[in-house]
Structure 1
Amino acid sequence: MLQFSDVSAAADRIAARVKRTPVVQSDALNSALNCKVYLKCEHLQKSGAFKFRGACNALLQLSPEQRAAGVVTVSSGNHGAGLAAAGQLLGVQVTVGVAHNASPLKRQNMLDFGANIIPIEAGMPAREAFIDAQRAAQQQVIPPYDHPHIMAGQGTAALELFEDYPDLAVLLTPLGGGGLLSGSSVVAKHYGAKCYGIEPELAADGYQSLQSGRLQPAMPPTSICDGLLTSVGEHPFAVIQANVADILLVSDAQVVDAQHLVDDCTGMWVEPSSATVIAAIQRYPELFAEKHVGVVISGGNVKRPS
């Protein structure tokens, strides 16, 4: 199972390539939420999301022969862009299976970093079929979240946050496949903080999995939180079960309100997936009142509404 030492080693491995993103605080946001919130701004990371961290950590551990052969993944956007950006730095060709209904902005982001895109149908069955076919063809697959190297790399955002603010009482991250939450939960546990994962009500397989003790399938991809429309992976789930206090659900309407609140208070327009953490503080005030709360703002690859 993933350990704090794995995250610490990943941080050392990728330090020269990732951006140490800022932590933003806002008196107006603190007042609105009745707690002191520390926003780890991964929307300012290279490729526009935290995914660049795990991608770097994974590619750096491939052999020269594996790098030369190129890698394949499947993504709704941010993992594909992060992997392509890391591939550009390290000379690795990246191919991404992308659903036909993926965000045009995220699709372009992947292309801008040199990714080769293969269109696939939307939903988990198509994603799994694509990966199975690539593995059958002996391609080197870099999963979006279900791999210890990815999980350790994603946890480095939380590690930086706690290095700057070691007395945080609580950490919140969005939950999609679980790479970010699992890696972050290991760090939170090391620092003695509670950790919560946040999911949309319309993509609540992680919540259902934690409640039942068994992985549940992804729900139909209908939430506006496009970065979270996947099922939790086996490796992340084991870590989440061990370390996470709970998984909290928020509605899409609450996410939109949270996007606007963050914008009003900080001038930052972030993805719906990112705004889930702020929506959770609003929906469950009894859990966070007057506490020092760290949140990972996971990505910003979205257009500001006109």
Structure 2
Amino acid sequence: MLSLDKVFDAQTVLKSIIRETNVVKTYGIAPDCDLYLKPENLQITGSFKVRGSAYKISQLSAEEKAKGVIACSAGNHAQGVALAATKNGIKSLICLPDSAPISKVEATKGYGAEVCLVEGVYDDAYNKAIELKEKEGYTFVHPFDDEDVIAGQGTIALEVLNDLDNIDAIVVPVGGGGLISGIAYTAKHIRPSVKVYGVQMTGAPSMYNSIHDGKIETLDTVQTVADGIAVKRPGDNTFEIVKKYVDDIALVSEDEVSSAILALIEKQKMIAEGAGAASVAAVMFNKFDLKGKRVVCIVSGGNIDVTSLSRVIDRGLMNSGRSASLLIELIDKPGQLKEISSIIADCGGNVTGVHYEKGNTESINGCFLRIEMETRDNNHVKTIKNALREAGFRTTKG
């Protein structure tokens, strides 16, 4: 049974395995509240997942350890199980969805695990892992729906409460619910006044839907940049714990998470994956009433693929108005580009790209000019658009 004693035992067991990540105060990310980050992206393996998996493996019998362990994961749990198993001299086999970032697949192998790639998402990898468990006799280390795993994740709450007094709220990313279950259970038993809020993606709202409808539901598909929380169905245990101890769950969009990742990079010099930044996105975009509150966001992981990070940064820049694209319809004659460039420069914008496009325009001599710009924010983009229109140019898109 999950208990506070089990969470404290996990804290003792994990002292020689994990890195205790001290909370960090933020500046400029969420000015309406006193915001702190719990940087589990700096954890060994780059994610909180090592806590739960390492504690689970520590509780196995000698016979279970001899047969080895199997797990399924979108990547972070895989690395946690691989590291914990290798430290204990245990064989590990990890089933990962074939959509998992290459960096996570290679990191899992690097920690000593054998990897089995499965077509589909996390739930497909889970089914394959259960099949192999029955066939080979491995012990299955569940990524979230296991009381030992949940207890391991609960050690995060112990550290947060030890680091900070007078916390009003803890905001936690939610996939299957193991992280928020451990944190909510622990926090509510030690300091009941602390609010615990969960965050899911609009493209993977399994726990959100289940809690709001009062029963466990399974999504047909999930699609999100936050692969670490792309789960079709919450766990049986985690659903009950979340229902009892979590105060509310909200959804954030891809664009909001992209903006949060960019803000963490620029304001905190911190790299977070999509799942890790979901909690920060919820605070940035006012998903909960946190004005004037002391808030801790769990940045659950930092294992983002470099190519994905590049795309996310570009998207974040566009969403925040730091970069913009304008499509201008004009008459094809000399001097147009010079005049447009001068207007943009006078407004303080910086032209980074120009592309000439022929298209269907009202005039037979018409054309389109696509301008890429660096700008300060969305208001700056509006100022430039207005200046161009006042000069007689027609912006049709961007």
Same fold (TM over 0.5): yes
Aligned positions of 1:144-293 closer than 5 A: 144-189=143-188, 190-192=190-192, 193-230=194-231, 231-284=233-286, 287-293=289-295
Whichever structure has more strand as a proportion of its residues is 2
Give the counterpart of 1:64 among 62, 65, 70.
62
Structure 2, gaps ≥5 residues long: 314-398
- Cα 1:93/1:286, change in 2 over 3 Å: closer
Q: Which amino acid aligns with 1:287?
A: D
Q: Percent of pairs identical after alignment?
A: 30
- The offset of 1:286, in angstroms, is 5.6
- The offset of 1:128, in angstroms, is 3.7
Q: Which amino acid aligns with 2:70?
A: V
CA contact (8 A) 2:25 2:36 kept: yes
Aligned positions of 1:10-89 closer than 5 A: 10-29=10-29, 32-89=30-87
Q: Equivalent residue for 2:394?
A: none
Q: Equivalent residue for 2:349?
A: none
Kindly provide the CA deviation profile for residues 132-188 of structure 1, in whole angstroms up to 9, marking residues without a partner as x.
Answer: 312322321111111000001011112101111132110111000111010000122
For residues 179 and 50 of structure 1, what CA distance do their matches in structure 2 show?
Answer: 11
Q: Which amino acid aligns with 1:223?
A: T
For residues 122 and 108 of structure 2, what CA distance do their matches in structure 1 show?
Answer: 20
Q: Which amino acid aligns with 2:3?
A: Q
TM-score by length of 1: 0.95
Secondary structure of the corresponding residue to residue 79 of structure 1: helix
Aligned length: 304
Q: Equivalent residue for 1:117?
A: 115
Secondary structure of the corresponding residue to residue 202 of structure 1: coil
- The offset of 1:125, in angstroms, is 4.9
Structure 1, gaps ≥5 residues long: none
- The offset of 1:259, in angstroms, is 0.6
- The offset of 1:285, in angstroms, is 5.9
Secondary structure of the corresponding residue to residue 288 of structure 1: coil
TM-score by length of 2: 0.74
For residues 143 and 168 of structure 2, what CA distance do their matches in structure 1 show?
Answer: 29
Structural RMSD (CA)? 1.5
Aligned positions of 1:117-136 closer than 5 A: 117-123=115-121, 125-136=123-134
- The offset of 1:219, in angstroms, is 4.6
User: Looking at CA atoms only, which structure, 1 or 2, has the larger radius of gyration?
Assistant: 2
Secondary structure of the corresponding residue to residue 143 of structure 2: coil
CA contact (8 A) 2:200 2:278 kept: yes
Q: Which amino acid aligns with 2:167?
A: L
CA contact (8 A) 1:134 1:141 kept: no
Secondary structure of the corresponding residue to residue 258 of structure 1: helix
CA contact (8 A) 1:33 1:285 kept: no
- Cα 1:82/1:130, change in 2 over 3 Å: same
CA contact (8 A) 2:70 2:133 kept: no
Q: Which amino acid aligns with 2:14?
A: I
CA contact (8 A) 1:203 1:219 kept: no
- Cα 1:228/1:23, change in 2 over 3 Å: same
- The offset of 1:59, in angstroms, is 0.6
- Cα 1:286/1:59, change in 2 over 3 Å: closer
- Cα 1:74/1:112, change in 2 over 3 Å: same
For residues 286 and 123 of structure 1, what CA distance do their matches in structure 2 show?
Answer: 30
Give the ranges of 4+ consecutive aligned residues of structure 1 lying more than 6 Å apart after TM superposition: none
CA contact (8 A) 2:78 2:108 kept: yes
